[in-house]
Structure 1
Amino acid sequence: MVRTRHHRPAPNPKAQRPARPARTAPALAAAALAAAALLAACAGPGTASGTGPTEPASGGTLRFALGAAPQGVDPQQVGTNVSIYVARQLADSLTDQDPETGEIEPWLAESWDVSADLTRFTFRLRDGVTFSDGSPLTADDVRASLDAVAGDLGATAPLAASYLAGYEKTEVPDERTATVVFDEPNAQFLQATSTVSLAILSAETARTDPAERLQGGIVGSGPFVLESYTQDQGAVVTRREGYDWAPASAEHEGAAYLDRIEFSVVPESGVRSGGLASDQFDAVGDVLPQDVPQVEGSGGEVLTRANPGVPFVLQPNVTRPPLDDPDVRHALLLAIDRQELVDTVLSDAFEPATSVLASTTPGYADLSDRLAFDPAEAGAVLDAAGWLPGPDGIRGKDGEPLAIEVTYTPVFTGSTAVLELAAQQLRAVGVELTLRQLTAAEQSTAQDSGDYDLYYYNVTRADADILRTQFATAQRNLSLREPDDVVDPLLDDQLGEADPAARDALVADAQEEILDQGLAVPLFELAQSIGVGGHVHGVAFDASSRLLFHDAWIEQG
């Protein structure tokens, strides 16, 4: 077994936290190395709240207004930001990824070994951890959680299941040791153990029906426990007394400061910001540019952090016209003015997409030259392909208009406005883009049936393997394409590459090939933009820009 300690570049000075006692960090396998400088770049001004009093106060209720309804509360099944805001508070993971450095650090596991061939990951569990029902954390719970994800739960937890590619079993030599075994190298797995998708739940939860789990039938070891969850309305979590195993990235040990967090669903951004200004809410999600003056004018603050992973993209269904034509897909890449999307609809907290990975993701390759706005070239490409302008300005070929529908659900508040502006840009080159807004359930149905032209989404993860999850034909494959001898091998090979530089090179080639084939039309990089009242402190982001409330506190009186 190899045990290797890696030294990373210094974290971004803008993102420094107050000093805290050091904890022992584990050895980190070479396969899990991330580009620390890139992760550090995620964090900028406003990544943590806190001006005014320096001594945290225990107690109180934080009222948080979500921009969309959570999918449920099971961390292994949910994928949207608003869902994870709730689910992450209920469950912990084997490891933690430091949001400033990208280092993989202890959490439920106090140390680990990784075999040289990247097929065996042995975790030694921290002593004294218990679940919210009082039962102790054991290696059997780790095995049950991973077995469930790799088994029947996988169909409803595709992201978590993708992290377990090649999973064979989890060996349990004793109650505090779990060895996860794969039948092929899995370079991304150590980082995956830090994600909410592979949070460890009790063995009893692993045996619970997936639908029941989504509605609240979970038992985790997190700093909060679920009091209630009402679909489409919100959730309430309460402090877990006796919690004493926060990761090193947390600002304090012991139980959370807050007594309760009340999550409510408020889709209108102006209503959320107005509620914050009028003290109806203590914190709100998805603050849009027009809302910032109201938040700051009332003494509040807007916290931002860029999301790593796949930025918001339009992924084409290449099996039906007109997107089965690679020239049409190529023209879409050229016809989108990404800077205008950011400047007009979003804010300076967001960045135009410059690849199929966000710039804050380890392994990112800058492909901005291939995404330069060039409507004249887009028109020339379409002309050469026989798509000629009609009397109404919309191009056509063989009697069929160049009309495309984008399927989306507005889990990000600014989505509709972004897509409406993109439609105007595309119309300028003769492409008619219509919007088809669906609920999350309807979009899942459309995905399963392949009933879409363009599928709009983003996925957050601080590891480049997210490309395999989204673009490999054996994984989610929203393009519905057939296996090929270029993209698939690149995504498979990076999974078995232990050398970080060699892995980055494979990932860079994959990004280029995905754009060359027009398998995604990148739009913009998502950033979390959270409004907090002036009396709220300690709200933090993890390495994947998900909210953490363990250190959050509110001024009393």
Structure 2
Amino acid sequence: MFDDRTRGVAETASPGDKGITRRAMLFRLGAGGLAVAGLPALLTACGEGSGSGEAKKHTLRIGLTSEMDSLNPFVQQSAAAVIATHLMFPTLTRQEGSEFTLTPDLAERYAVSDDGKKITFTLRTNGKWSDAKPITAEDVEFTINTLVRLKSSAAALLAQYVVGITEAVAEDAKTLVVTYSKPIANALALLSRVVILPKHVWTAPAAGDGAGLKSFTFNEKVVCGGQFVLEKYTPKQIVLLKEHRDWYGAKQSITTLGFLTFGSPDAMLKALETSQIDAVALLSPSAVGAGVDKLRTKNIKVEQAPGFVMNNLYFNVNPKKTKHRELLDPKVRKALSLAIDRERIVKVVLFEMGRPGSSLVYPAMGDWHDSSITPDPFDVAAANSILDDLGYKRGPDGIRIANSEPMSYTVNLASGLAGGSRIVQIISSGWEQVGVKVTSRTLDASAMIDAISAPDGKYLTNDVAVWGFLPASPDPSAVLDHFITDSIGGFNNCHYSDPEYDRLYVEQNATLDAAARREKVYQMQRRFFDARAMLALCYVDALSASGSKFTGYHMSGFGPFNAISRDQFTDIRPA
């Protein structure tokens, strides 16, 4: 489906570039949204504007249950916040359409050198910042070089998007040359993740160690250059954007765009039914459940597609962990995988809107997914046989003993994982049948990160964690890079470290031929699956729900809205 045409979007450094891989927690499925205080007034603020002159104003109101934590790209963690930020700032390229085809954005065109180490961009000349200053190649040069310079510190959360870049040079106002130390298979798409910042505004915050980048304040005066500018911002509650009249791209029908955070899926869907909002973003099957058909009877359009959300179980496989060291044995992890009823998770938690998980690379990623890797079946007898052969006998209470300790594990569960409690119940039920006890602990996103890496980032005390993930792009590197050694301390929730996996990652990253790269990606999938450091529990379908006021929504595995494309908003128009 995506094949060579997309080249992906999310990379980290190759092993050895320590610090680059402290990846942004952009797409973790973390804490749920807060209830919006004074919701009716805020909805009114996002309401339809009156026509002015010949131009009629059209307001699109989007509901969220996951709060926008920050619009600052150097600190933001929520997927919804990333979407808003990418609407406010230019990027060199974009990925458009149902197959995420790479297209120019701020760049009018680009050319890649024969050795793949230089990309020359010719920029549009009609771009302007919201303070009327022109957008030039110097802005792009400043942004990219700032990320490269501060990749191990203030810009670490965005550094994976400039992996391999040695420098960016503005040859003139319209021409930019980006130089790489080696070819990068999806370099052009990686750059679609870099929001271009106005040099004249961000130079001071980026000075020195760049500490000012993280403390930069976003308010109604922030200088933007994308298709929208910031109109109103109440952190974790509402983001209101209005059209940027000097935007360089195609004009859209939507002149005002409002994102509203609700305290629960039920409240959000009720607002959709009563036309207080027009559409919802990041809708989970667990949130809608059996109510999908009910929504359709209320003139709500519901669409479904194979999604990019994957719910996972992570084992701590740090060889230095202090307790329950039996979990370091792949045979034990395989037994525990066989004791998980993935089919039941799909049926009970996802209401059949998904499929059992197997490989690290999603089926929604098309040919990058190795379909020969199949989910472990629910086979309690086989699991018991493995544990019996390992000599882990049951104690008087039925719980097995390993290394003189009961096989009783605390499972850390992310509070914002839709259906997470039910998933852990199903895991617990299966593990109980093989003599393993589960005690669950629900934590918010920040506490989850701390618990997984406890104490103090050493990964010594955590045993098991359950969390979900939405990758930054449809490219396989957006998930493969989680488990290279240098991602420990970032998205590597397992403390997984395998030199051969690292080597293959570097090779596939630099392999420009799609078929040859795919073979290396398959090798990585198989190697990681066999280790069972992480168990893919289920792939979750993407859902969209929208009212009848607008048409032209683009449905994909990311849902109707994402931070990769612009056409999802430029094509929406009044019905």
- Shorter-chain TM-score tier: 0.7 to 0.9
Say if 2:278 is the partner of 1:282.
Answer: yes
* Corresponding position of 2:570: 550
Closer/same/farther in 2, CA of residues 446 and 344 from structure 1, 3 Å limit: same
Unaligned runs of 5+ residues in structure 1 are 1-8, 12-27, 35-56, 246-252
**Within 1, Cα distance between the matches of 2:507 and 2:183?**
9
Query: Residue 486 of structure 2: which of 471, 474, 483 is its match?
Result: 474
Query: More deviation in 410-419 or 118-127?
Result: 410-419
* Corresponding position of 1:366: 371
Contact 1:90/1:222 (<8 A) preserved: yes
Closer/same/farther in 2, CA of residues 528 and 93 from structure 1, 3 Å limit: farther
Once the two structures are superposed, residues 256-282 of structure 1 have per-residue CA deviations (whole angstroms, 9 ceiling, x without a partner) of 323323322223222221222223332
Query: Residue 225 of structure 1: which of 216, 222, 229 is its match?
Result: 229
* Corresponding position of 1:399: 404
Letter of the 2:463 partner, please give it: D
* Corresponding position of 2:380: 375
- The percentage of counterpart residues that share the same residue type is 25
Letter of the 2:569 partner, please give it: F
Contact 2:7/2:475 (<8 A) preserved: no
Superposition deviation, residue 325 in structure 1: 2.8
Query: Equivalent residues in 2 for 1:113-128 (5 A)?
Result: 113-128=111-126
Once the two structures are superposed, residues 75-100 of structure 1 have per-residue CA deviations (whole angstroms, 9 ceiling, x without a partner) of 46535333234323222321122332
Say if 2:526 is the partner of 1:512.
Answer: yes
SS in 1 for 2:171: strand
What is the alpha-carbon root mean square deviation over aligned residues? 3.0
Query: Residue 355 of structure 1: which of 341, 359, 363 is its match?
Result: 359
Say if 2:495 is the partner of 1:453.
Answer: no
Closer/same/farther in 2, CA of residues 147 and 368 from structure 1, 3 Å limit: same
**Within 2, Cα distance between the matches of 1:482 and 1:412?**
23
**Within 2, Cα distance between the matches of 1:274 and 1:360?**
30
Unaligned runs of 5+ residues in structure 2 are 9-54, 206-211, 563-567
* Corresponding position of 2:314: 315
Closer/same/farther in 2, CA of residues 340 and 316 from structure 1, 3 Å limit: same
* Corresponding position of 1:97: 95
Superposition deviation, residue 327 in structure 1: 2.4
**Within 2, Cα distance between the matches of 1:215 and 1:100?**
32
SS in 1 for 2:126: coil
* Corresponding position of 2:170: 172
Query: Equivalent residues in 2 for 1:264-279 (5 A)?
Result: 264-279=260-275
* Corresponding position of 1:503: 517
Contact 1:31/1:187 (<8 A) preserved: no
Contact 1:154/1:160 (<8 A) preserved: no
* Corresponding position of 1:326: 330
Letter of the 1:344 partner, please give it: V
Closer/same/farther in 2, CA of residues 541 and 110 from structure 1, 3 Å limit: farther
Query: Equivalent residues in 2 for 1:149-298 (5 A)?
Result: 149-152=147-150, 155=153, 158=156, 160-195=158-193, 198-203=194-199, 204-205=201-202, 207-208=204-205, 209-213=212-216, 215-216=218-219, 219-245=223-249, 253-254=250-251, 256-285=252-281, 286-287=283-284, 288-298=288-298
SS in 1 for 2:103: strand
Letter of the 2:427 partner, please give it: A
SS in 1 for 2:168: strand
Query: Equivalent residues in 2 for 1:134-149 (5 A)?
Result: 134-149=132-147
Contact 1:269/1:413 (<8 A) preserved: no
Closer/same/farther in 2, CA of residues 272 and 487 from structure 1, 3 Å limit: same
How many residue pairs align between the two structures? 496
Contact 1:98/1:542 (<8 A) preserved: no
Closer/same/farther in 2, CA of residues 324 and 97 from structure 1, 3 Å limit: same
Once the two structures are superposed, residues 351-378 of structure 1 have per-residue CA deviations (whole angstroms, 9 ceiling, x without a partner) of 3223101112252212443533333222
SS in 1 for 2:247: coil
Closer/same/farther in 2, CA of residues 102 and 271 from structure 1, 3 Å limit: closer
* Corresponding position of 1:5: none
User: What's the TM-score, normalizing by structure 2?
Assistant: 0.78
Closer/same/farther in 2, CA of residues 95 and 379 from structure 1, 3 Å limit: same
* Corresponding position of 2:551: 537
**Within 2, Cα distance between the matches of 1:152 and 1:181?**
17
**Within 2, Cα distance between the matches of 1:122 and 1:394?**
63
* Corresponding position of 1:301: 301
SS in 1 for 2:358: coil
Query: Equivalent residues in 2 for 1:52-71 (5 A)?
Result: 58-71=56-69
